[in-house]
Amino acid sequence: MENVVLIVHLILALSLIAVVLLQRSEGGGLGMGGGGGGAMSGRSAATALGKFTWLLAIAFICTSITLTIFAAENASGSSVVDRLGVTPPALNQSDTPAIPEGDLLLPPGAGDDAPLVPVD
């Protein structure tokens, strides 16, 4: 199912690019020509190509959201590094810094069995 949505998404992306490039320039963008009087008049009537562009854009956004949902379901809380099978090197006892005995305090309201917390 995910592959089908991905293929539809790619077709929509290419179609959207083609339809946008086929449209007539409305002028005003970077001062380039086309569309005489477009800035002087009100909003021009929507053409069939403009409506089709909106339809493709809405479909593209829907497939994007669907692919995001699929990716979130497949993530399952694992990291990319976990999928590669690479494990980080384990710390040796000599690598951990020693905390002097006098620098440890109990957190406020903790009982006798509470773990010691280093003082900053």
d(CA 68, CA 1): 13
3-state secondary structure of 42: coil
**Domain enclosing residue 3, as ranges:** 1-24+47-74
Whether residue 98 lies inside any domain: the answer is: no
Average pLDDT, rounded, for the chain: 74
Q: What are the tens digits of pLDDT across the range 47-81? A: 889 899 999 999 999 999 999 999 888 876 666 66
Most confident of 19-23, 33-37, 92-96, 116-120: 19-23
Whether residue 105 lies inside any domain: the answer is: no
pLDDT confidence of residue 51: 92
Number of domains the chain contains? 1
In angstroms and rounded to an integer, the radius of gyration of the C-alpha atoms of the chain is 30
Whether residue 68 lies inside any domain: the answer is: yes
* Whether the predicted model's global pTM rises above the 0.85 cut: no
